Structure 1
């Protein structure tokens, strides 16, 4: 089996990680048992619960590869994988509790307290352990030695990224290239330590943990030769192709049968992140509708009393993947345009009713879109949906415009809280809105969503461009 490598936290020697999880499960159970919540669990019952939970944890952890190396992965991904694993364990424990009648004294409140406490503790100890590893790496301990093949701009970016993040635990020994130093860019000359043959020989001798091949894509034949030579090495081999020339957008690898393909324009909200985003939407939308239920009824009644027509109207917009959706809004105009040509509302627009001016100024006309969120066609946070007619107009004028549709449209968004809302009477205004929308998509996280919601609440719903 070999020794446990605490510097990497992996694979196949992660026995200490499994033991720590088991201890956390027992500790959480013991802490809950000290409270009045359980009805006096006997020591043998505690042992049974701990063993069952531990065995389920061992099994479920394989589903999410929980004990593989997560060192180069954002901690948010580690936390989600941990919570999903423990959630699967909790379902199994719930089955034991209610269907197998494992222990009648373990009530629902105590069970919820236990699984909740353990979920927090599992994530917390991983965070502390990660900080410990980062501190070790920053002090020069347990570093993985790496060589970079190819004195290319991509190699320079890679080296600078590694040096700026000592917590990665990688020590770059240098860059290797067959060109003479005077033919290499000045910024890379001081990092050259040998030719490609030197790198391959050193890797074959076992003195290199990671070998990064950062040659340009046009050097396909040379890359193939290098990879063939690398079969004689136990080093980790990483290809670093210069895909950045294509301005990739959340690229992701996919399987097509036995083939690997690279999706260059991909949504970041997929898999477990999609489930988390959906849970966030359902929670916020449900609370919002409960809070605004009576005000919404009063608004609907006021609209009907002021002018003829429905209180709520639906307008066709583009949703995720460019599919048409029907967006709900309180009617604020005497007309409800929904055709191939739609005129944006302007200041002092004669179509806007007196009540409509208030609704639009305060964004109260958007409240019915929480129903869209519950339906699943919209999200609380995301790029604002534009009318179909406007989409067709701007997609031909602004590069990357349709990438906004890689996520669900939102009630509020990064562009809106930064002032890019309301009328877009110039191309520059729309381009700026798209820029902020794409920034949101490429940097999406649950914390980012919470920040946008908080900014929406603190800045208020009104804006000088809303009319």
Structure 2
């Protein structure tokens, strides 16, 4: 293929480091001059200190949280998650430095808080434009990385489709090599049999080779790797993992000096866990402030309409299957707070009239934001089930206990898709668990925000 030019992959990261710092400092200064011009006017030393400190913190914290790791091939959602986490660390570091050096009074809290929301939105928008528009233009003008795929099955086809749909990856598929014969099932993208792949890669300066082959093809893999040693191509192996239908992770780890493929791991390990906990603390605190008057009215209503406490605690399974006590508004005449209890059903005589209103509108769940701040629940995650229900369904539903590799949530993907409350049959539970697993496999901050918004519009005040 005739390439007009190629942007070296190594250039993109330094360029984005410069742009991220420039956007951060630029947005901050614009906000200052627009919202707080008088106190900041004529204070050149303070402005210089702000610029230098902000630049250093952006470069160091963004590097620390992995914003520039695998930039070209990462998706926008994952990158924005890392950007948000980096912004949080920059903000936290600025607060600590301001407190330690006693200079926080020189700067506007309102401006800093506005910056905290506007700056990451600007950066994520820039990433979207670059990856959706610039890379498409780059691809159309021959500035792409050439890829060949060994294997014509579902995995090979899905790789080609992803590259076609995601131009920001900066890749172009030259064609396929068939492990069976040289016809590739009649595909026009067929370049020959798999034995011809090493020669083609060497003669055509191919940068990437994707091996989409079964794991059992070890002799063929060894043969290909040996043949590709006389080229500079990078080689990626995509084994058929379809038998691992509940795969969570898929990363590569080093354990005891050995390489391991992570088949299952918590999506909230490491940096993602810090981001998830930060999200829970910020959202949990803000939501509690907003709903506090409503909770006071509910507490008053409970006291006026029935005897008994306002709250009750009930045992649930939480992270890693550890039991914890969940907070709820009392909705029944009885107080069943042990491990064994009879789940509520439609028209249950134990439910009070006011309790029925609370349950119907999901208002009995509001005290669980206290669990979020306490740390044994998240705002979004698989809903916690009663201990007795867990013990029953873990034997009936495949993958049931996978939901416990994360903290349980007040709402979740299953709930916004209609699987909440009473379980009528095993199929209801299987569908609920499939949504829980789907959430854990695809978690992002943006997915959490989407679920929260849909929860508000689908469940709040539902009659």
TM-score range, shorter chain: 0.7 to 0.9
Q: How does 1:239-278 map to 2 (within 5 A)?
A: 239-253=237-251, 254-278=253-277
Contact between 1:300 and 1:311, CA under 8 Å: does it hold in 2?
Answer: yes
Write the distance in 1 (CA, Å) between the matches of 2:140 and 2:275: 36
Corresponding residue SS for 2:10: coil
Report Cα offsets for 1:373-415 as digits up to 9, x if no partner: 1111112222221111111111222222222223222222232
Write the distance in 1 (CA, Å) between the matches of 2:24 and 2:421: 52
Larger CA deviation: 256-265 vs 324-333: 256-265
Whether 2:189 is the aligned partner of 1:191: answer: yes
Q: Which residue of 2 aligns with 1:76?
A: 77
Report Cα offsets for 1:412-434 as digits up to 9, x if no partner: 22322332222212222222322
Contact between 1:33 and 1:40, CA under 8 Å: does it hold in 2?
Answer: no
Corresponding residue SS for 1:325: strand
Q: How does 1:300-449 map to 2 (within 5 A)?
A: 300=299, 302-303=301-302, 307-338=306-337, 341-449=340-448
CA shift for structure 1 position 195:
2.7
Q: Which residue of 2 aligns with 1:143?
A: 144
Contact between 1:329 and 1:367, CA under 8 Å: does it hold in 2?
Answer: yes
Q: Which residue of 1 aligns with 2:156?
A: 155
Write the distance in 2 (CA, Å) between the matches of 1:377 and 1:145: 48
After superposition, the CA RMSD in angstroms is: 3.3
Larger CA deviation: 427-436 vs 16-25: 16-25
CA shift for structure 1 position 136:
1.4
Corresponding residue SS for 1:261: strand
Contact between 2:149 and 2:210, CA under 8 Å: does it hold in 1?
Answer: yes
Larger CA deviation: 194-203 vs 96-105: 96-105
Corresponding residue SS for 1:231: helix
CA shift for structure 1 position 59:
4.1
Q: Which residue of 1 aligns with 2:212?
A: 214
Write the distance in 2 (CA, Å) between the matches of 1:177 and 1:119: 45
Q: Cα gap change, 1:307/1:37 in structure 2, threshold over 3 Å: closer, same or farther?
A: same
CA shift for structure 1 position 238:
0.8
Corresponding residue SS for 2:385: coil
Matched length: 456
Contact between 2:303 and 2:310, CA under 8 Å: does it hold in 1?
Answer: yes
Q: Cα gap change, 1:400/1:431 in structure 2, threshold over 3 Å: closer, same or farther?
A: same
Q: How does 1:96-245 map to 2 (within 5 A)?
A: 99=100, 118-137=119-138, 139-181=140-182, 186=185, 189-205=187-203, 207-245=205-243
Larger CA deviation: 159-168 vs 110-119: 110-119
Q: Cα gap change, 1:6/1:15 in structure 2, threshold over 3 Å: closer, same or farther?
A: farther
Write the distance in 2 (CA, Å) between the matches of 1:199 and 1:395: 48
Corresponding residue SS for 2:236: strand
Q: Cα gap change, 1:98/1:222 in structure 2, threshold over 3 Å: closer, same or farther?
A: same
Q: Cα gap change, 1:114/1:460 in structure 2, threshold over 3 Å: closer, same or farther?
A: closer
Contact between 1:37 and 1:107, CA under 8 Å: does it hold in 2?
Answer: no
Corresponding residue SS for 2:40: coil
Write the distance in 1 (CA, Å) between the matches of 2:364 and 2:107: 48
Write the distance in 2 (CA, Å) between the matches of 1:348 and 1:235: 67
Write the distance in 2 (CA, Å) between the matches of 1:274 and 1:252: 17
Corresponding residue SS for 1:136: helix
Contact between 2:149 and 2:211, CA under 8 Å: does it hold in 1?
Answer: yes
CA shift for structure 1 position 74:
1.5
Contact between 1:45 and 1:103, CA under 8 Å: does it hold in 2?
Answer: no
CA shift for structure 1 position 106:
5.1
Larger CA deviation: 251-260 vs 384-393: 251-260
Q: Which residue of 1 aligns with 2:283?
A: 284
Q: Cα gap change, 1:355/1:168 in structure 2, threshold over 3 Å: closer, same or farther?
A: same
Contact between 2:321 and 2:404, CA under 8 Å: does it hold in 1?
Answer: yes
Could you state the TM-score of these two structures normalised by the residue count of structure 1? 0.84
Contact between 1:206 and 1:234, CA under 8 Å: does it hold in 2?
Answer: no
Contact between 1:146 and 1:208, CA under 8 Å: does it hold in 2?
Answer: yes
Write the distance in 2 (CA, Å) between the matches of 1:424 and 1:103: 54
Contact between 1:205 and 1:233, CA under 8 Å: does it hold in 2?
Answer: no
Report Cα offsets for 1:10-40 as digits up to 9, x if no partner: 4267443344345435534553453415432
Contact between 1:11 and 1:69, CA under 8 Å: does it hold in 2?
Answer: no
Q: Cα gap change, 1:40/1:116 in structure 2, threshold over 3 Å: closer, same or farther?
A: farther
Residue ranges of structure 2 left out of the alignment (5+ in a row): none
CA shift for structure 1 position 329:
1.6
